[in-house]
Structures are given as structure tokens and as C-alpha cells.
Amino acid sequence: MSAKRKTQQKNVRGNNVRVMCKKLGMAQEDLAAALNLDFGYQFMRSNILEIERP
């Protein structure tokens, strides 16, 4: 019988987003607004929260 291993997926990009926001002094709302204006994406603060969540 082989034991099944549980693998945990890590959200590497979310951690990078969180670190860069802190470095730049941006809140989630600020990042969402910048993405909306600069790239035309339709992000809200809750979307950024989902990206940052591990």
C-alpha cells in the first residue's frame, strides 16, 4: 500500500504582491486602482486580497 502525500500549494505571487505593496507604501485599494488605470483590469480590493491570500 502506498501512502498518499498531501502537497500544499504555495501562493508565491501573492507573497510578492504583498511585499511590493508594503515596499511602495500602497494599500490593496491603491494597487487595484493602479491596475485599473494603467492596464484596464477590473480589480477591486477583494480581488487583491484573494491574490495575497496564501
pTM, to two decimals = 0.66
Question: Is residue 18 assigned to a domain?
Answer: yes
List the domain range (segments joined by +) for residue 28.
12-52
Question: Is residue 6 assigned to a domain?
Answer: no
Question: Is residue 44 assigned to a domain?
Answer: yes
The whole-angstrom separation of Cα 43 and Cα 35 is 7
The whole-angstrom separation of Cα 24 and Cα 40 is 21
Question: Is residue 2 assigned to a domain?
Answer: no
| Number of domains the chain is built from | 1
Question: Is residue 43 assigned to a domain?
Answer: yes
pLDDT tens for the chain, 54 residues: list them. 566 666 666 678 888 988 999 999 999 999 999 989 999 989 888 888 888 887
Question: Is residue 1 assigned to a domain?
Answer: no
Residue with cell 480590493: 45
SS3 breakdown of the chain: % helix, strand, coil, rounded to 5? 60, 0, 40
- Count other Cβ atoms within 10 Å, centred on residue 28: 19
pLDDT at 34: 92
